[in-house]
A and B are shown apart, each in its own frame.
Chain A
């Protein structure tokens, strides 16, 4: 059967569109292991001032140097802090416009994404999403490129900038080793207000929904982390807009690995089509050179 040019183009276009469509389907996110664990932080219960026991427990659990200022020194709340190599979790204070007397305290740490940006960014697989839920780091293979830090939408991973020989990326592990021992994460264990609840993620989401349903006046009707960036293991409830209390704005529900999937999907295409195309070009220009040589210069500057 002979194929004319138009038909050929038509088939080509259809194939290209089919490729695009299957790509779009591929972006459906991984629903996660059914029994994976999570943590629900209810910021309306957190008292913050004179407490920060979660920070202290976190430091103990991770063998980090203790706080240099007393825990009841509330001047730390005067500025917004971020995680650093000595602090895997920080509690920050945000003003509540509707209730100036009672500011909002928010504990931050790694969100333990269902499909972590850090893990998809790592070129040596130093990050792994465990089937239990925590996202953990392997210091023995990390080369220190810090792309994970660039990729993380929550600005969580931190780096040992002052350790020349064995610098590590440092972040919350959701106390993975404690979980393996049958214990619960240190911050959840120590919280005097039960603002931090550890359990199966599915159960926590139901709990959060129930809280919102029972106390609509107390909660913003949104569980932060249920869907953001494809869902996270750490979930939040709050009485304010999440954008006003330090959470990144404009995060979509697209898991981060999907952002580079299209590009990485094109790599095999280039690897297979480019060689054929370039060899063809080479043969073509060679042939053109020969013809113009044979014609003896009348081949319109074929040598150029």
Chain B
């Protein structure tokens, strides 16, 4: 009896050490945690957590510059709108590999799906800061159905897609836990999940743009367009691809030793292929933006300060990275592709910020700009996302294939 408890404790202790502490004792593990990166992360969290307290005990007004005229700010513009766009890599790569059969990109499926899953998860975390009553988050699913609302579609789809992405990610989790039966079931669901994920992504990525169809007169006419859903969808595809390039660049630097030699050799090849795709999608998006201007005959507005911002966004952060990516793939220069992808990611964030913050209420005297606590929360959430990503990649077979399983 006594021995039995002892064995159970030892196994649990060993499981804890092997699975969570990466084979170290707790003391070793903690000592290894003192790294410059972790110190920076700790400083960020030590600022972010007290602000979280302020936000939830004193109200949105205590931590933000939001107002009755500007009810949406940095948390919606960056954490939610940009977050969802940048997390599109999961569905884009999943579709490419599983549905289009381009097996060359197989090595980036798992990191892309994990980036997507965590991206959406932390979008929901960010949303919980922004919602007045976050504990009512399930209301659109359970209590009252506002089916005339584009937001209703967004709510449902983000919830469903989060579940779908969990299914897509779960084989890695089950390999780590050595749960063979569950892994088998999850693998069987992959194709179905990918198809369902592509449908959900098409709809909610474009729906985020469609939210702003209700803002004619509030959103500057250079950004307001009946094509907003298409703009958001196409740019999300570009953002997703570029984010996969960006994320794999960082992963290969940080977790390089996990990646097999074979994948290291393919790494540049994959980056170049993705860069080519991103260049094409960005160029198509660039053309579409001008179709939008021409459709509503907004040419005259280009000659204004916001017109200049529009030109900077469209030429400087869509066309320029598109051309750079094209040029880099011609030269087979993966490093320049990575630069172009990073640039394009910034461009998509700029677009979402412009639509939701800068160009919205452009003609009102009471403008919005975020206060430091909003920025601190955004940085905190990104940090939490990076830490979770690192936690998982360090433990589960994301960047490599688990030797005990067949793929």
Contacts and interface: CB of A to CB of B under 8 A. Distances in A.
Interface in A111-132: 117, 119-126
A282 B103 contact: no
A143 B68 contact: no
Contact of A142 (B68, B72, B133, B214): B133
Give me the 7 closest cross-chain CB pairs, A-B, nearest first.
Answer: A144-B132, A161-B61, A285-B101, A146-B71, A123-B152, A149-B71, A123-B151
B214 A82 contact: no
Interface in B21-66: 56-62, 64, 66
A147 B136 contact: no
Contact of A162 (B59, B95, B206): B59
A289 to B, nearest CB: 5
B101 to A, nearest CB: 3
A164 B57 CA distance: 6
Interface string A286-303: 101100000000000001
B1 to A, nearest CB: 50
A120 B210 CA distance: 13
Contacts of A109: none
A270 B60 contact: no
Interface stretch (B141-149, B289-297, B326-334, B375-383): B141-149
Contact of A125 (B98, B102, B145): B145
Contact of B140 (A123, A157, A262): A123
A231 B289 CA distance: 33
Contacts of A161: 59-61, 64, 66-67
Contact of A145 (B59, B102, B144, B151): B151
Given A83-B68, A146-B72, A275-B199, A164 B152 contact: no
Contact of B68 (A124, A149, A162): A149
Contacts of B218: 150, 153
A279 B98 CA distance: 11
B206 A263 contact: yes
A279 B59 contact: no
User: For the complex, would chain B's binding face be called helix, strand, loop or mixed by DSSP majority?
Assistant: helix
A96 interface: no
B125 interface: no
Interface string B166-178: 0000000000000
A199 interface: no
A151 B62 contact: no
Given A122-B146, A150-B214, A278-B195, A162 B62 contact: yes
A249 interface: yes
Interface of B: 56-62, 64, 66-69, 71-72, 95, 98-104, 130-134, 136-137, 139-140, 143-146, 148-155, 191, 195, 198-199, 202-203, 206-207, 210-211, 213-218, 226, 229, 360, 364, 366
A256 B149 CA distance: 11
Contacts of B207: 263
A147 B149 contact: yes
Interface string A163-204: 110110000000000000000000000000000000000000
Given A162-B59, A304-B104, A124 B148 contact: no
A153 to B, nearest CB: 6
Contacts of B61: 161-162
Contacts of B210: 260, 263
A29 interface: no
A257 B148 contact: yes
Contacts of B203: 267, 270-271
A150 B215 contact: yes
Given A123-B155, A260-B150, A275-B195, A281 B213 contact: no
A158 B61 CA distance: 12
Contacts of B229: 263
12 contacts: A82-B68, A142-B132, A143-B136, A145-B131, A146-B72, A150-B211, A150-B215, A157-B68, A257-B148, A278-B198, A286-B101, A303-B104
Contacts of A303: 101, 103-104
Given A121-B149, A125-B145, A144-B136, 14 more contacts: A85-B68, A123-B140, A124-B139, A124-B143, A141-B136, A147-B151, A159-B132, A260-B210, A278-B195, A278-B199, A282-B101, A285-B100, A303-B104, A304-B103
B195 A159 contact: no
Contacts of B133: 142-144, 166-167
B139 A141 contact: yes
Nearest to B103: A303
A282 B195 contact: yes
Contacts of B56: 164
A274 interface: yes
A65 interface: no
Contacts of A150: 71-72, 211, 214-215, 218, 360
Interface centre among A125, A248, A263 (most CB of B within 10 A): A263
B146, B154, B364 pick with most chain A CB within 10 angstroms: B146
Given A159-B132, A281-B100, A289-B101, A164 B217 contact: no
B153 to A, nearest CB: 7
A76 interface: no
A76 B241 CA distance: 54
Nearest to B209: A263
Interface hub of A85, A161, A252 (most chain B Cβ within 10 A): A161
